[in-house]
Structure 1
Protein backbone atom coordinates (compact mmCIF):
# COMPACT_ATOMS: atom_id res chain seq x y z
CA UNK A 1 0.00 0.00 0.00
CA UNK A 2 1.22 3.44 -0.85
CA UNK A 3 2.52 5.28 2.20
CA UNK A 4 0.32 8.27 1.27
CA UNK A 5 -2.72 6.22 2.30
CA UNK A 6 -1.48 5.22 5.73
CA UNK A 7 -1.46 7.15 8.97
CA UNK A 8 1.43 6.50 11.22
CA UNK A 9 1.70 7.70 14.77
CA UNK A 10 4.29 10.47 14.65
CA UNK A 11 4.42 10.77 18.42
CA UNK A 12 2.77 14.16 18.24
CA UNK A 13 0.86 15.36 21.26
CA UNK A 14 -0.85 18.19 19.38
CA UNK A 15 -4.44 18.61 20.47
CA UNK A 16 -7.07 17.07 18.24
CA UNK A 17 -10.03 18.97 16.85
CA UNK A 18 -13.12 16.85 16.43
CA UNK A 19 -15.77 17.61 13.84
CA UNK A 20 -18.64 19.68 15.17
CA UNK A 21 -21.85 17.98 16.23
CA UNK A 22 -24.75 18.47 13.81
CA UNK A 23 -27.07 21.36 14.59
CA UNK A 24 -30.78 20.89 14.09
CA UNK A 25 -32.36 22.83 11.23
CA UNK A 26 -35.43 23.55 13.38
CA UNK A 27 -35.87 26.83 15.29
CA UNK A 28 -34.20 26.51 18.68
CA UNK A 29 -37.11 27.24 21.02
CA UNK A 30 -36.22 26.78 24.69
CA UNK A 31 -38.15 26.88 27.94
CA UNK A 32 -36.68 28.84 30.86
CA UNK A 33 -35.60 25.49 32.36
CA UNK A 34 -34.06 24.41 29.04
CA UNK A 35 -32.10 27.65 28.77
CA UNK A 36 -30.81 27.22 32.33
CA UNK A 37 -29.76 23.65 31.49
CA UNK A 38 -27.82 24.83 28.43
CA UNK A 39 -26.13 27.58 30.46
CA UNK A 40 -25.24 25.09 33.19
CA UNK A 41 -23.86 22.65 30.66
CA UNK A 42 -21.70 25.39 29.10
CA UNK A 43 -20.34 26.32 32.53
CA UNK A 44 -19.57 22.68 33.37
CA UNK A 45 -17.81 22.18 30.03
CA UNK A 46 -15.72 25.34 30.52
CA UNK A 47 -14.65 24.04 33.95
CA UNK A 48 -13.79 20.63 32.47
CA UNK A 49 -11.79 22.22 29.64
CA UNK A 50 -9.81 24.32 32.13
CA UNK A 51 -9.08 21.20 34.18
CA UNK A 52 -8.01 19.19 31.13
CA UNK A 53 -5.81 21.98 29.77
CA UNK A 54 -4.09 22.10 33.14
CA UNK A 55 -3.06 18.49 32.57
CA UNK A 56 -2.09 19.05 28.93
CA UNK A 57 1.27 17.35 29.35
CA UNK A 58 -0.62 14.08 29.93
CA UNK A 59 -1.43 12.60 26.49
CA UNK A 60 -4.41 10.79 28.04
CA UNK A 61 -6.22 14.15 28.36
CA UNK A 62 -5.99 15.07 24.65
CA UNK A 63 -9.05 13.16 23.46
CA UNK A 64 -11.29 14.09 26.42
CA UNK A 65 -10.22 17.72 25.89
CA UNK A 66 -11.16 17.54 22.21
CA UNK A 67 -14.56 16.06 23.12
CA UNK A 68 -15.21 18.76 25.73
CA UNK A 69 -14.20 21.52 23.31
CA UNK A 70 -16.45 20.08 20.59
CA UNK A 71 -19.36 19.81 23.04
CA UNK A 72 -18.82 23.40 24.18
CA UNK A 73 -18.90 24.61 20.57
CA UNK A 74 -22.26 22.83 20.18
CA UNK A 75 -23.72 24.27 23.40
CA UNK A 76 -22.50 27.78 22.54
CA UNK A 77 -24.13 27.52 19.10
CA UNK A 78 -27.38 26.36 20.72
CA UNK A 79 -27.26 29.23 23.21
CA UNK A 80 -26.58 31.74 20.42
CA UNK A 81 -29.62 30.49 18.46
CA UNK A 82 -31.94 30.03 21.46
CA UNK A 83 -35.39 31.63 21.36
CA UNK A 84 -36.71 31.76 24.91
CA UNK A 85 -40.43 31.01 25.14
CA UNK A 86 -41.85 32.07 28.49
CA UNK A 87 -45.06 30.43 29.68
CA UNK A 88 -48.20 32.52 29.28
CA UNK A 89 -49.96 34.01 32.26
CA UNK A 90 -53.09 32.10 33.19
CA UNK A 91 -54.47 28.95 31.61
CA UNK A 92 -53.52 27.40 28.30
CA UNK A 93 -56.52 27.50 25.95
CA UNK A 94 -54.71 25.09 23.58
CA UNK A 95 -51.50 23.09 23.48
CA UNK A 96 -48.46 25.35 23.13
CA UNK A 97 -44.72 25.06 23.48
CA UNK A 98 -43.87 24.55 27.16
CA UNK A 99 -47.29 23.14 28.10
CA UNK A 100 -47.89 19.81 29.79
CA UNK A 101 -50.62 17.84 28.05
CA UNK A 102 -52.59 15.03 29.67
CA UNK A 103 -53.97 12.50 27.20
CA UNK A 104 -55.78 9.19 27.05
CA UNK A 105 -54.78 6.74 24.37
CA UNK A 106 -57.15 4.46 22.44
CA UNK A 107 -57.12 1.95 25.32
CA UNK A 108 -57.93 4.63 27.90
CA UNK A 109 -54.40 4.63 29.35
CA UNK A 110 -53.36 8.08 30.63
CA UNK A 111 -50.08 9.78 29.80
CA UNK A 112 -48.59 13.26 30.21
CA UNK A 113 -46.21 15.01 27.85
CA UNK A 114 -44.45 18.34 28.15
CA UNK A 115 -43.44 20.03 24.89
CA UNK A 116 -39.90 21.37 25.23
CA UNK A 117 -36.87 22.31 23.14
CA UNK A 118 -34.80 19.65 21.44
CA UNK A 119 -31.90 19.89 23.89
CA UNK A 120 -34.24 19.49 26.86
CA UNK A 121 -36.13 16.52 25.41
CA UNK A 122 -36.19 13.30 27.42
CA UNK A 123 -39.00 11.05 26.15
CA UNK A 124 -38.61 8.64 29.06
CA UNK A 125 -39.48 11.51 31.41
CA UNK A 126 -42.35 12.72 29.21
CA UNK A 127 -40.36 15.69 27.83
CA UNK A 128 -40.83 15.70 24.07
CA UNK A 129 -39.04 17.91 21.58
CA UNK A 130 -41.24 20.36 19.68
CA UNK A 131 -40.21 19.04 16.23
CA UNK A 132 -41.17 15.45 17.14
CA UNK A 133 -44.20 13.84 15.48
CA UNK A 134 -45.98 13.59 18.85
CA UNK A 135 -45.49 17.27 19.65
CA UNK A 136 -46.56 18.28 16.15
CA UNK A 137 -49.74 16.21 16.57
CA UNK A 138 -50.51 17.84 19.93
CA UNK A 139 -49.67 21.49 19.17
CA UNK A 140 -52.72 23.78 18.88
CA UNK A 141 -55.14 21.06 20.07
CA UNK A 142 -57.70 21.88 22.77
CA UNK A 143 -59.15 19.90 25.65
CA UNK A 144 -61.55 17.32 24.25
CA UNK A 145 -59.83 17.12 20.86
CA UNK A 146 -58.70 13.78 19.50
CA UNK A 147 -55.40 13.97 17.65
CA UNK A 148 -53.69 11.41 15.46
CA UNK A 149 -50.11 10.57 16.30
CA UNK A 150 -48.26 8.91 13.41
CA UNK A 151 -46.00 6.16 14.71
CA UNK A 152 -43.98 3.56 12.81
CA UNK A 153 -46.38 0.90 14.13
CA UNK A 154 -49.40 2.83 12.89
CA UNK A 155 -51.61 5.78 13.74
CA UNK A 156 -52.54 6.26 17.41
CA UNK A 157 -55.42 8.44 18.56
CA UNK A 158 -54.96 10.52 21.69
CA UNK A 159 -57.70 12.43 23.50
CA UNK A 160 -56.58 15.68 25.13
CA UNK A 161 -57.90 15.68 28.71
CA UNK A 162 -55.97 18.63 30.20
CA UNK A 163 -53.47 21.33 29.30
CA UNK A 164 -51.48 22.93 32.06
CA UNK A 165 -48.26 24.72 32.89
CA UNK A 166 -45.25 22.47 33.19
CA UNK A 167 -44.24 21.78 36.77
Structure 2
Protein backbone atom coordinates (compact mmCIF):
# COMPACT_ATOMS: atom_id res chain seq x y z
CA UNK A 1 0.00 0.00 0.00
CA UNK A 2 1.01 3.61 -0.32
CA UNK A 3 2.58 5.87 2.24
CA UNK A 4 -0.55 8.05 1.99
CA UNK A 5 -2.72 5.08 3.02
CA UNK A 6 -0.44 4.38 5.99
CA UNK A 7 -0.66 8.04 7.03
CA UNK A 8 -4.43 7.88 6.71
CA UNK A 9 -4.61 4.85 9.01
CA UNK A 10 -2.30 6.57 11.49
CA UNK A 11 -4.25 9.83 11.41
CA UNK A 12 -7.52 7.99 11.97
CA UNK A 13 -5.89 6.12 14.86
CA UNK A 14 -7.40 2.96 13.45
CA UNK A 15 -6.51 -0.47 14.69
CA UNK A 16 -3.81 -2.15 12.64
CA UNK A 17 -5.17 -2.76 9.16
CA UNK A 18 -4.41 -5.61 6.82
CA UNK A 19 -3.72 -3.42 3.80
CA UNK A 20 -4.03 -6.43 1.51
CA UNK A 21 -7.72 -6.72 2.43
CA UNK A 22 -9.81 -4.41 0.25
CA UNK A 23 -12.66 -4.53 2.79
CA UNK A 24 -10.32 -3.19 5.46
CA UNK A 25 -9.16 -0.44 3.12
CA UNK A 26 -12.79 0.38 2.28
CA UNK A 27 -13.51 0.83 6.01
CA UNK A 28 -10.59 3.25 6.34
CA UNK A 29 -11.63 5.19 3.25
CA UNK A 30 -15.22 5.46 4.48
CA UNK A 31 -14.03 6.89 7.80
CA UNK A 32 -11.81 9.39 6.00
CA UNK A 33 -14.63 10.60 3.75
CA UNK A 34 -16.48 11.94 6.79
CA UNK A 35 -13.62 14.24 7.82
CA UNK A 36 -13.00 17.22 5.53
CA UNK A 37 -9.53 17.65 7.03
CA UNK A 38 -8.54 14.24 5.67
CA UNK A 39 -9.73 14.69 2.09
CA UNK A 40 -6.33 15.66 0.68
CA UNK A 41 -4.71 12.66 2.35
CA UNK A 42 -7.54 10.45 1.12
CA UNK A 43 -7.03 11.77 -2.40
CA UNK A 44 -3.37 10.77 -2.22
CA UNK A 45 -4.19 7.35 -0.85
CA UNK A 46 -6.69 6.69 -3.62
CA UNK A 47 -4.11 7.57 -6.26
CA UNK A 48 -2.10 4.60 -4.98
CA UNK A 49 -5.08 2.25 -4.69
CA UNK A 50 -4.92 -0.72 -7.04
CA UNK A 51 -8.62 -1.67 -6.98
CA UNK A 52 -10.31 0.73 -9.40
CA UNK A 53 -13.88 -0.27 -8.36
CA UNK A 54 -12.94 0.59 -4.77
CA UNK A 55 -11.57 3.96 -5.86
CA UNK A 56 -14.76 4.61 -7.81
CA UNK A 57 -16.98 3.82 -4.81
CA UNK A 58 -14.99 6.16 -2.56
CA UNK A 59 -14.93 8.95 -5.12
CA UNK A 60 -18.72 8.79 -5.49
CA UNK A 61 -19.04 9.14 -1.71
CA UNK A 62 -16.70 12.12 -1.78
CA UNK A 63 -18.68 13.78 -4.59
CA UNK A 64 -21.77 13.72 -2.40
CA UNK A 65 -19.90 15.56 0.37
CA UNK A 66 -17.77 18.08 -1.50
CA UNK A 67 -18.35 21.28 -3.39
CA UNK A 68 -18.92 20.73 -7.10
CA UNK A 69 -15.89 22.89 -7.87
CA UNK A 70 -13.73 20.02 -6.59
CA UNK A 71 -15.48 17.21 -8.43
CA UNK A 72 -13.16 17.25 -11.46
CA UNK A 73 -10.06 16.65 -9.35
CA UNK A 74 -11.69 13.62 -7.72
CA UNK A 75 -13.05 12.24 -10.97
CA UNK A 76 -9.59 12.73 -12.47
CA UNK A 77 -8.11 9.94 -10.34
CA UNK A 78 -10.53 7.36 -11.73
CA UNK A 79 -9.76 4.87 -14.45
CA UNK A 80 -11.46 5.61 -17.77
CA UNK A 81 -13.97 2.82 -17.24
CA UNK A 82 -15.27 4.45 -14.04
CA UNK A 83 -15.28 8.12 -15.06
CA UNK A 84 -18.63 8.09 -16.85
CA UNK A 85 -20.53 6.99 -13.75
CA UNK A 86 -18.80 9.59 -11.57
CA UNK A 87 -19.40 12.31 -14.18
CA UNK A 88 -23.07 11.41 -14.22
CA UNK A 89 -23.30 11.46 -10.42
CA UNK A 90 -21.62 14.87 -10.36
CA UNK A 91 -24.15 16.19 -12.87
CA UNK A 92 -27.00 14.67 -10.87
CA UNK A 93 -25.73 16.35 -7.72
CA UNK A 94 -25.81 19.64 -9.62
CA UNK A 95 -29.44 19.03 -10.57
CA UNK A 96 -30.30 18.17 -6.97
CA UNK A 97 -28.55 21.32 -5.74
CA UNK A 98 -30.44 23.39 -8.32
CA UNK A 99 -33.78 21.94 -7.28
CA UNK A 100 -33.06 22.48 -3.61
CA UNK A 101 -32.18 26.12 -4.26
CA UNK A 102 -35.21 26.43 -6.56
CA UNK A 103 -33.02 27.66 -9.42
CA UNK A 104 -34.25 24.89 -11.74
CA UNK A 105 -37.82 25.46 -12.94
CA UNK A 106 -40.40 22.68 -12.92
CA UNK A 107 -40.51 22.69 -16.73
CA UNK A 108 -36.92 21.37 -16.76
CA UNK A 109 -37.97 18.60 -14.40
CA UNK A 110 -40.88 17.66 -16.67
CA UNK A 111 -38.72 17.67 -19.80
CA UNK A 112 -35.79 15.70 -18.43
CA UNK A 113 -37.28 13.27 -15.90
CA UNK A 114 -36.88 10.24 -18.18
CA UNK A 115 -33.12 10.84 -18.26
CA UNK A 116 -32.78 10.91 -14.49
CA UNK A 117 -31.59 7.87 -12.56
CA UNK A 118 -33.69 6.31 -9.83
CA UNK A 119 -31.00 7.50 -7.40
CA UNK A 120 -31.55 11.14 -8.42
CA UNK A 121 -35.32 10.85 -8.34
CA UNK A 122 -35.16 9.35 -4.86
CA UNK A 123 -32.76 12.05 -3.63
CA UNK A 124 -35.05 14.74 -5.02
CA UNK A 125 -38.15 13.49 -3.21
CA UNK A 126 -36.17 13.03 0.00
CA UNK A 127 -34.51 16.46 -0.13
CA UNK A 128 -36.61 18.98 -2.05
CA UNK A 129 -39.43 20.75 -0.24
CA UNK A 130 -41.06 22.48 -3.20
CA UNK A 131 -44.72 21.57 -3.62
CA UNK A 132 -44.79 21.67 -7.43
CA UNK A 133 -41.76 19.36 -7.66
CA UNK A 134 -43.15 16.94 -5.08
CA UNK A 135 -46.57 16.98 -6.71
CA UNK A 136 -45.02 16.17 -10.08
CA UNK A 137 -42.97 13.29 -8.62
CA UNK A 138 -45.98 11.94 -6.73
CA UNK A 139 -47.59 11.37 -10.13
CA UNK A 140 -44.65 10.86 -12.49
CA UNK A 141 -41.87 9.36 -10.35
CA UNK A 142 -40.39 6.24 -11.90
CA UNK A 143 -41.09 3.83 -9.04
CA UNK A 144 -43.89 3.30 -6.54
CA UNK A 145 -41.43 4.10 -3.76
CA UNK A 146 -40.49 7.44 -5.32
CA UNK A 147 -44.15 8.35 -5.87
CA UNK A 148 -45.06 7.35 -2.30
CA UNK A 149 -42.23 9.35 -0.71
CA UNK A 150 -43.15 12.36 -2.83
CA UNK A 151 -46.80 12.07 -1.77
CA UNK A 152 -45.86 11.73 1.88
CA UNK A 153 -43.48 14.69 1.67
CA UNK A 154 -46.08 16.77 -0.14
CA UNK A 155 -48.39 16.47 2.87
CA UNK A 156 -45.76 18.08 5.12
CA UNK A 157 -44.87 21.01 2.84
> Normalising by structure 2, what TM-score?
0.24
Structure showing greater radius of gyration is 1
Q: By percentage of residues, which structure has more helix?
A: 2
